[in-house]
Amino acid sequence: MPEKERSSLNKTISLSQKEIERLSKNLKHLNAPTKVKEIKNTTIHQDLFSAIKFLPENFVDLLFIDPPYNLTKDFNGNAFKQMSISSYTEWLESWFSSLTKILKPTASIYVCGDWQSSTSIHTILEKYFTIRNRITWEREKGRGAKANWKNSSEDIWFATVSDEFTFNIEDVKLKRKVIAPYVDDEGKAKDWNSTDDGNFRLTHPSNIWTDLTVPFWSMAENTDHPTQKPEKLLAKIILASSNKGDFVFDPFLGSGTTSVVAKKLGRNYCGIEKDKTYACLAEKRIEMANYDNSIQGYEDGVFFERNTGLTRTKSKKNITPAQEEMFFSKS
Ligand SMILES: C[S@@+](CC[C@H](N)C(=O)[O-])C[C@H]1O[C@@H](n2cnc3c(N)ncnc32)[C@H](O)[C@@H]1O
Lowest-confidence region among 171-180, 246-255, 289-298: 171-180
pLDDT tens for 223-232 read 999 999 999 9
Question: Could you tell me if the CB of 224 is within 6 A of ligand 1?
Answer: no
Question: Could you tell me if the CB of 75 is within 6 A of ligand 1?
Answer: yes
CB 72 within 8 A of CB 79: yes
State the DSSP H helix or E strand holding residue 17, giving kind and residue range, or none if neither: helix 17-23
Looking at residue 326, its pLDDT comes to 59
Question: Could you tell me if the CB of 43 is within 6 A of ligand 1?
Answer: no
pLDDT tens for 63-120 read 999 999 998 999 999 999 999 999 999 999 999 999 999 999 999 999 999 999 999 9
CB 87 within 8 A of CB 135: no
Ligand 1: atom nearest CA of 252 is 12
CB 32 within 8 A of CB 55: no
pTM: 0.91
Ligand 1: atom nearest CA of 75 is 25
Distance 120 CA to ligand 1 centre (A): 18
pLDDT tens for 150-165 read 989 999 999 999 999 9
Question: Could you tell me if the CB of 254 is within 6 A of ligand 1?
Answer: yes
Mean pLDDT of 289-311: 82
Beta-carbon-side half-sphere exposure of residue 163 (alpha carbons within 13 Å): 0
Question: Could you tell me if the CB of 278 is within 6 A of ligand 1?
Answer: yes
Predicted confidence (pLDDT) at residue 191 exceeds the cutoff of 50? yes
Question: Could you tell me if the CB of 48 is within 6 A of ligand 1?
Answer: yes
- Which domains occur in the chain, in start order? 17-166+209-291 (3.40.50.150)
Contacts of 324 (CB under 8 A, 6+ apart): 316
User: Listing from the earlier edge strand, what are the strands of the sheet with 298-299?
Assistant: 193-195, 198-203, 174-177, 302-304, 298-299
Model confidence band, residue 313 (pLDDT cutoffs 50, 70, 90): very low
Contacts of 297 (CB under 8 A, 6+ apart): 211, 212, 213, 230, 232, 303, 304, 306, 311
Distance 330 CA to ligand 1 centre (A): 25
Map residue 250 onto helix, strand or coil. strand
Handedness of CA 252, 67, 277, 141 (dihedral sign): negative
Distance 45 CA to ligand 1 centre (A): 11
Return the residue whose CA atom lies nearest to atom 3 of ligand 1: 254
Residue type, 35: K
Distance 253 CA to ligand 1 centre (A): 5
CB 289 within 8 A of CB 260: yes
Mean pLDDT of 252-271: 98
Looking at residue 69, its pLDDT comes to 94
Ligand 1: atom nearest CA of 282 is 9
Residue type, 239: L
Map residue 19 onto helix, strand or coil. helix
Predicted confidence (pLDDT) at residue 327 exceeds the cutoff of 80? no
Return the residue whose CA atom lies nearest to atom 2 of ligand 1: 254
Q: Which residues pair with 110 in a beta bridge?
A: 64, 158
Contacts of 189 (CB under 8 A, 6+ apart): 181, 182, 183, 199
CB 189 within 8 A of CB 199: yes
Return the residue whose CA atom lies nearest to atom 26 of ligand 1: 254
CB 43 within 8 A of CB 270: yes
pLDDT tens for 136-150 read 999 877 778 899 999
Looking at residue 311, its pLDDT comes to 46
Distance 233 CA to ligand 1 centre (A): 17
CB 226 within 8 A of CB 200: no
Distance 10 CA to ligand 1 centre (A): 24
Question: Could you tell me if the CB of 117 is within 6 A of ligand 1?
Answer: no
Distance 68 CA to ligand 1 centre (A): 6
Looking at residue 330, its pLDDT comes to 41
Model confidence band, residue 309 (pLDDT cutoffs 50, 70, 90): low
Model confidence band, residue 23 (pLDDT cutoffs 50, 70, 90): very high
